[in-house]
A and B are shown apart, each in its own frame.
Chain A
Amino acid sequence: MLTIKNLHAELEEEGKKILKGVDLVLEPGKVHAIMGPNGSGKSTLSYILAGREGYEVTEGSAELDGVDLLEMEPEERAAAGLFLAFQYPVEIPGVGNMTFLRTAVNAQRKARGEEELSAGDFLKEVRAKAKTLKIDADMLKRPVNVGFSGGEKKRNEILQMAMLEPKMCILDETDSGLDVDAMKLVSEGVNALRDGKRSFLVITHYQRLLDHIKPDVVHIMADGRIIKTGGPELALEVENNGYADILAEEGI
């Protein structure tokens, strides 16, 4: 269970306040969506949960199954079961996608005291999972995300998620830049991971992703806070009317 309480954060260098009291509780097996205007702090929230440097948490807490996330290194958070699908997946020239995946899978296994996956088992698993995401052998061989199209990068994020089998998945605008077919592939990839225990925090601007990945709860984030929480109908309201009414209602 992910529990975020009154989380305040600012940019370390400029001291600019970005998160101004985020509260959120995400139970196992649930899908929560976060929507909100650009610049409201959605990506920042996801980065802070994943442990990116450059932010200072000035107040509040974030726990995964009762463990303080904010005290951990990014790799420890990953081993604890947190996964962030990046809004902008990073290119890593010189590191093969396959090497990257195997290193990540085995590092997490090692951190959890499990045996490393044998080369054969690993290959079998990657190939099967890549196939359902229509990721071909060439994409697995190429350097991580280098020369990948926007859609390929996003599918690659989902492949990593599928291989790492996290318990808490955060998807930051995984739908942006995807055409209809790619959106379907990605959604199917996500839905295949839904098992009643795994939780998802889906950051998106669009209802269309939520047609495929059905949320239990929808939050609206603005100016560093969650200003409104509701059911799936809230996403429809945003789709039809934009954020203006909601923002006005909350006095922003």
Chain B
Amino acid sequence: MGRAETLKALRADAAAARMAGLTLPQGAAWANAARQEALARVGAMGLPTKRDEYWKYTDPASLTAGEAPEAALFTPDERPMFDGTDRLRIVFVDGVYDPEMSDDMSGENLEIERLSTAMAKDIHWSKDLYGKLETEGHDPVERPLAALNTAFATDGVVIRATGKVSRPVNVSYLHRATNSDAILHHVIRVEKGADLTFLENGPAAARLSKVMEVDVADGGAFHHVRTQGRDQERRAVTGSFARLGAGSTYKSFTLTVNGRLTRNETIITITGDEAVAHVAGACVGDGKDFHHDDTVFITHDAVACESRQVFKKVLRNAATGVFQGKILVKPDAQKTDGYQISQSLLLDDDSQFLAKPELEIYADDVACSHGSTSGAIDETGLFYLRSRGVPEKEAIDLLTLAFLAEALAEIEDEALAEDLRERLESWLKRHR
């Protein structure tokens, strides 16, 4: 067998292994059709293996295995995430909707229901989006795990913002079973000029597959803040697929501490002029089992749009961080302003940061810049702090937080940003 055939066979094996224990959920005709189409996509692509170019730095084996590897439970000893925000809370426990802990699904300028409810209806607006943005997101890089999600997702939320939504929607993912395997899928439509804040928190399950398709219409704004829990052993692969209309805004921030394997993919296509897309992440990883991967692909297909990628990772005790980020500027996307920065702070020699920053530009009137750095704690700064009486560990924490500050600054809501900063500070403290 040639190399290509071998790869194809390996992908097919991976797909067969992963799907062995899965059954397609049943719903309305359109929903069943969407799932069948997704299944066909998985059939055509197979599932990723370590030999795939975009999985070179992250081994997908545990994500494609038939069963979720066990993950010990972790009980947070702090205030619930986002508790300072008046929010509409929806809770999934190991991927299963929990009506007791969830708020009523209603709100001003808001249509919201469970994905499973929406997909059982013969007519539903989410038909035009479910699996559609995911499908578009395979060009030019295949995202087969997202297609698998579309085929088998058991639940999620569908949200339509019709105006300014005053209360943020908060989906909390609790992890209560050591072998849980969750497949969740959200569909979000921000209508013209509408404004939605979407908060996500928690580890979700021993293994989580989550896809979020977000369609932001002209002049709409979508704000996303996510924290992925502090469980040491959970695994997650997430895909955020977004399409941005003219003058719209998409701003997303993710905080990841711990977790054995995290692959967060964000695929954004800017289709309307003067739109803005910001994607940021801060990550703190400890130990050789920690592997965190941000894979971002932003396509500029309209005039005078701005995109920004800001990713910071703190790695220690042989932890691994990965960043694969791309800005693609299509021929007609003149006056594009693209920025990308990925940086790691390596707290020891055994930790590693693997970065693949890419620019692909076909328009001539653009301003794009990218940078990627990896560095240790600044010894001069550390000595300066210590010479003022700050103990070494505390000084390292201070410098670590300072390093992450640029990513945290991407959170627009200052109270939220401050809350996350304080939590991070206390987590750093407790870790020693």
Do A and B bind?
Answer: yes
Q: Which residues does A use to contact B, with CB under 8 Å?
A: 50-53, 73-75, 77-79, 83-84, 86, 89-95, 99-100, 103-104, 107-108, 111, 143, 160, 164
Residues on the B chain within 8 Å of A73, using CB: 386, 391-392
In addition to A93-B402, A94-B402, 6 A-B residue pairs with Cβ atoms within 8 Å of each other are A78-B387, A92-B402, A95-B401, A100-B385, A103-B385, A104-B390
* A90 in complex: contacting residue of B381, B402, B406, CB < 8 Å: B381
Q: Which of B383, B385, B387, B399 has the most CB of A within 10 A?
A: B387
Is the CB–CB distance between A111 and B380 below 8 Å? Answer: no
* A78 in complex: contacting residue of B379, B386, B398, B405, CB < 8 Å: B386
Is the CB–CB distance between A75 and B389 below 8 Å? Answer: yes
Q: Which residue of A has the minimal Cβ distance to B383?
A: A52
Is the CB–CB distance between A79 and B402 below 8 Å? Answer: no
Known: A53-B379, A53-B383, A94-B406. A104 touches B401 (CB 8 A): no
Query: How far apart are the CA atoms of A236 and B406 in the complex, in Å?
Result: 50
Query: How far apart are the CA atoms of A164 and B390 in the complex, in Å?
Result: 12
Residues on the B chain within 8 Å of A50, using CB: 383, 387
Query: How far apart are the CA atoms of A167 and B177 in the complex, in Å?
Result: 59
Q: Which of A74, A83, A90, A104 has the most CB of B within 10 A?
A: A74
Known: A75-B391, A107-B391. A95 touches B386 (CB 8 A): no
Q: Which residue of A has the minimal Cβ distance to B379?
A: A53
Ranked nearest first, the 9 interchain pairs of A and B with the lowest CB-CB distance are A94-B402, A78-B389, A108-B389, A104-B388, A90-B384, A74-B386, A94-B405, A95-B402, A107-B389
* B387 in complex: contacting residue of A84, A91, A103, CB < 8 Å: A84
| Distance between A21 CB and nearest chain B CB, rounded to angstroms | 25
Tell yes or no: B394 within 8 A of A by CB. yes
Q: Which residue of B has the minimal Cβ distance to A109?
A: B389
| Distance between B17 CB and nearest chain A CB, rounded to angstroms | 45
Is the CB–CB distance between B383 and A92 below 8 Å? Answer: no
Query: How far apart are the CA atoms of A95 and B185 in the complex, in Å?
Result: 39
Residues on the A chain within 8 Å of B406, using CB: 94
Residues on the B chain within 8 Å of A52, using CB: 383, 387
Residues on the A chain within 8 Å of B385, using CB: 92, 100, 103-104
Tell yes or no: B74 within 8 A of A by CB. no
How many B residues, CB 8 Å from partner?
23
Residues on the B chain within 8 Å of A86, using CB: 384
| Distance between A103 CB and nearest chain B CB, rounded to angstroms | 6
Is the CB–CB distance between A90 and B380 below 8 Å? Answer: yes
* B392 in complex: contacting residue of A75, A83, A143, CB < 8 Å: A75
Q: Which residue of B has the minimal Cβ distance to A84?
A: B387
Known: A74-B383, A90-B380. A95 touches B398 (CB 8 A): yes
Tell yes or no: B55 within 8 A of A by CB. no
Query: How far apart are the CA atoms of A93 and B404 in the complex, in Å?
Result: 11
Q: Which of B388, B395, B399, B401 has the most CB of A within 10 A?
A: B388
Is the CB–CB distance between A94 and B387 below 8 Å? Answer: no
Please count the residue pairs between chain A and chain B whose beta carbons lie under 8 angstroms apart in the complex: 79
Proximity string of chain B (363-397) to chain A, C-beta cutoff 8 Å, 1 when within and 0 when not = 00000000000000011110111111111101100
Query: How far apart are the CA atoms of A99 and B405 in the complex, in Å?
Result: 14
Query: How far apart are the CA atoms of A210 and B432 in the complex, in Å?
Result: 46
Tell yes or no: B30 within 8 A of A by CB. no
Q: Which of A50, A73, A89, A90 has the most CB of B within 10 A?
A: A90
Tell yes or no: B54 within 8 A of A by CB. no
Query: How far apart are the CA atoms of A93 and B392 in the complex, in Å?
Result: 18
Residues on the B chain within 8 Å of A103, using CB: 385, 390, 394, 398
Q: Which residue of A has the minimal Cβ distance to B402?
A: A94
Is the CB–CB distance between B389 and A79 below 8 Å? Answer: yes
Query: How far apart are the CA atoms of A108 and B390 in the complex, in Å?
Result: 7
Residues on the B chain within 8 Å of A53, using CB: 379, 383
Tell yes or no: B403 within 8 A of A by CB. yes
Known: A52-B383, A53-B379, A53-B383. A94 touches B401 (CB 8 A): yes
| Distance between A72 CB and nearest chain B CB, rounded to angstroms | 11
Q: Which of B385, B398, B399, B406 has the most CB of A within 10 A?
A: B385
Is the CB–CB distance between B394 and A107 below 8 Å? Answer: yes
Is the CB–CB distance between B379 and A111 below 8 Å? Answer: no
Residues on the B chain within 8 Å of A75, using CB: 386-387, 389-392, 395
25 contacts between A and B (CB under 8 A): A50-B383, A51-B383, A73-B386, A73-B392, A74-B387, A75-B387, A75-B389, A78-B386, A78-B388, A83-B387, A89-B384, A90-B384, A92-B378, A92-B402, A95-B399, A95-B401, A95-B402, A100-B385, A100-B388, A103-B385, A103-B394, A104-B389, A107-B391, A143-B402, A160-B388
Query: How far apart are the CA atoms of A160 and B388 in the complex, in Å?
Result: 8
Residues on the B chain within 8 Å of A93, using CB: 402
Query: How far apart are the CA atoms of A84 and B390 in the complex, in Å?
Result: 14
| Distance between B277 CB and nearest chain A CB, rounded to angstroms | 25
Query: How far apart are the CA atoms of A51 and B389 in the complex, in Å?
Result: 11
| Distance between A170 CB and nearest chain B CB, rounded to angstroms | 10
Query: How far apart are the CA atoms of A111 and B383 in the complex, in Å?
Result: 17
| Distance between A105 CB and nearest chain B CB, rounded to angstroms | 8
Query: How far apart are the CA atoms of A174 and B405 in the complex, in Å?
Result: 31
Residues on the A chain within 8 Å of B402, using CB: 92-95, 143
Is the CB–CB distance between A94 and B403 below 8 Å? Answer: yes
